[in-house]
Amino acid sequence: MNRAEQKERTRQTLVATSRRLFASRGYAGVGLAEIVREAGVTKGALYHHFDGKTALFRAVLEQVQQEVAARVVAAAEEAVETPWHRLQAGCAAFVKASADPEVQRIMLIDGPAVLGWDEWRAIDEATSAAHLSEALREVQSTATIPLRPVEPLARLLSGAMNEAALWLAQSGGPADLEDTLAWLSRLIDGLRYREPA
C-alpha cells in the first residue's frame, strides 16, 4: 500500500469510528481521545486529516447525507412509471431512511446543533433538497402540479419529512412509520393539479 492509500485508509477509519460513536452516544458524548483510541491512530494522524472534532463530525454528516440521498435516488429510479411516482417513491424512501436511529441522531439532531442551521442547510441543499427540487420540476413539466416556483414547495415538503423523522425517533409505536408514510402519500397527493369544478 502506498502513502496516499494509507492516508485515505486512515481517514476512512476515523470517519467510520466517529460515525459509530456519534450514532451511539451523540456528538457531545464522544471525545477526541476516545475516537483516536478506538480508531487505533494518533492524535497527530487525526489532525492531519481534520482540524478538530467538528470537522470530523462534518465529514460524518456529509457521508450520512450522501447515503440518504443515494437511497432516495435509487427508490425514485425504481419507480419508473411517471415523474409523479418517482416523487412519491423518493419522499417515502427519505422518511424510511430518516427513521434509522443513526441517521436521526447524526443528520437531524446533532447536525443542526453542532454545525449551526446555515451550514447544516447548505449540506442538505447539496444532497436531499437538491434531489427533491429536481423531482418537483420534473413533475411540474408533466403539468401534474401548478407552474409556480418549486423552491418554497421543496422546503415545505423537506420540513414536513424532517419533522416526521424526528417524531418517529420519539414515538416508538409499531405502526408509526406505516402511518407516517400513509399520511405523507396523502399530503403529496394533495399537490396534484385539479381543474376547477
pLDDT in tens, 148-195: 999 999 999 999 998 998 898 888 788 999 999 999 999 999 998 765
70: how many CB neighbours lie within 10 A of its CB?
Answer: 14
pLDDT at 195: 54
34, burial (CB in 10 Å: exposed 0-12, middle 13-18, buried 19+): middle
Alpha-helical (H) ranges within the chain are 3-25, 32-39, 43-49, 53-78, 83-98, 101-103, 111-115, 117-126, 128-140, 150-171, 176-189
* Mean pLDDT, the chain, integer: 91
What DSSP character marks residue 106? I
Q: Cα separation of 104 and 113, whole Å?
A: 13
Is 126's pLDDT higher than 90? no
pLDDT at 124: 85
pLDDT in tens, 94-124: 999 988 989 999 998 999 999 999 999 888 8
* % of the chain residues with pLDDT over 90: 68
pLDDT at 61: 96
Is 197's pLDDT higher than 50? no
CB 154 within 8 A of CB 191: no
Chain-centroid distance of CA 32 in Å reads 24
Rounded mean pLDDT of 33-55? 93
Structural domains for the chain: 1-50 (1.10.10.60), 53-190 (1.10.357.10)
pLDDT at 194: 66
3-state secondary structure of 190: coil
Q: In which band, very low, low, confident or very high, does the pLDDT at 79 lie, cut at 50, 70 and 90?
A: confident
pTM of the model: 0.88
89: how many CB neighbours lie within 10 A of its CB?
Answer: 20
Q: Cα separation of 89 and 185, whole Å?
A: 9
CB 59 within 8 A of CB 8: no
The candidate with the shortest Cα–Cα distance to 94, out of 160, 150, 49, 153, is 160
Angle between helices 3-25 and 32-39 (to 10 degrees): 130
